Chain A
Amino acid sequence: MTIRPGLRRCFLLALLPLMLLAACEQATTTASFHATEIRDASFGRELQLPDTEGRLRTLADFRGEVVAVYFGFLQCPDVCPTALSRAVAVKQLLGEDGKRFRVVFITVDPERDTPEVVRAYLDAFDPSFVGLVGSPEEVARTAKEFRVYYRKVPTGSSYTMDHTATTFVYNADGKLRLAVPHALSAEDFAADVRRLLAE
């Protein structure tokens, strides 16, 4: 079969994205996580914030547990309840292993989200969820460490917060391992947690 050189070039060009995709696939599917896998992260290495009872919490407190860290705020009527409801579903799907799955919620709106309200809010989902409420400076430092974006945006009489809706997941040794996108299903999330629990 003879193909004109021009046509052949077209063919190769058309194939290029596929070849690139294949190369990427090789790099990331070795572990076959549904979420984005993170290795040797240069971010999210430290976490140090007071919880809703005023105790200073660090990642070391949760050794032996897979920890899911989510940044949000209580006035958020949409993605935050969605993310926390998904976390409840993940815990349920894990069954007995759910005891080794810890959810940590960090408010990006400490001006309005007092420790008492955050506690009551998380209790509406699962009383085992940990709420961290820092000073505005502490929150800013933590968000920077996680490369999380948040910003106050005025709306009419009040304000809302734009924020990163990714959930960060640590393995039982306290290593940051996954960035879970907001759109990932509870089933896929739970499957990933199961894999991490086996690490």
Chain B
Amino acid sequence: MLTTKTRRSLGLALMFGAFTLPAWAQTVKVEDPWVQATVAGQKATAAFMKLTADAPVKLTGGKTPVAPVVEIHEMVMEGEVMKMRAIDGGLPLEAGKTMELKPGGYHVMLIDLPKAVEVGQRVPLTLIFTDTEGKEFTVEVEAPVRPLKRDHGKKSGHEM
């Protein structure tokens, strides 16, 4: 239980916090990023990761030295038909809620690869986010490359 006094000071602190918020850089925590390996001649691949933002923001794009084009995509199954679409306007992240980009859902698509992305490589990735005021900020990560053949494990056999 909070006493009235502490509650009031808490309220003041929050108000103060709200005033100082613009000066406070927003961050997005990026965990377990990985990029799927490709073979020579394969022109695209995807990056997967877990994102947790401290404020409502959108993942709107990215940059990487391994590919000239980066898009945010969503995979959906309509019955047995697989559809992949670029997400217009970015992928919204709720404050404090972890959004997992994984097979069967969202991914960062790396397009027009000039050469293969191989296991052992670490792919530098600049993620571009847009806050509620339309201001962009970036987060840099290095994503290790995982083999094309995924470990299906013993239990479900499906990574979805």
Contacts and interface: CB of A to CB of B under 8 A. Distances in A.
Interface of A: 74-79, 81-82, 84-86, 88-89, 112, 114, 116-117, 120-121, 123-125, 149, 153, 155-158, 160, 162-166, 181-189
Number of contact residues on B: which range applies? Answer: 35 or more
B77 A182 contact: yes
B157 A158 contact: no
A114 B39 CA distance: 12
A78 B82 contact: yes
Contacts of A165: 77, 80-82
B81 A149 contact: yes
A15 to B, nearest CB: 28
Interface string B122-160: 000000000000000000000000011111100011111
B148 A124 contact: yes
Contact of A116 (B37, B41, B44, B158): B41
B66 interface: no
Contact of A155 (B85, B147, B151): B85
**Contact residues of A: prevailing secondary structure:** mixed
A162 B37 contact: no
Contacts of B44: 75, 77, 158
Nearest to B150: A85
B60 interface: no
Contact of A186 (B73, B111, B158): B158
Contacts of A114: 41
